[in-house]
Amino acid sequence: MPRRLTPRSHFFHDDDASTVSLVDWAFASASSGVGDLGYFTSQSLTVADRRTYEEELTQLHFDTLLENGVKNFTFNDLWLFYCRAILFCLSYPLVAGAGDLDNDRTVSLVTCQLERSTSAILDLDADEVAL
Give the model's confidence band at 24: pLDDT under 50 very low, under 70 low, under 90 confident, else very high: low
Mean pLDDT for 73-84 is 95
SS (H, E, C) the chain: CCCCCCCCCCCEECCEEEEECCCCCCCCCCCCHHHHHHHHHHHHCCHHHHHHHHHHHHHHHHHHHHHCCCCCCCHHHHHHHHHHHHHHCCHHHHHHHCCCCCCHHHHHHHHHHHHHHHHHHHHHCHHHHCC
Residue 117 has pLDDT above 90, yes or no: yes
Question: Does the pLDDT of residue 17 top 80, yes or no?
Answer: no
The model's pTM is 0.75
**Which pLDDT value is given to residue 1?**
46
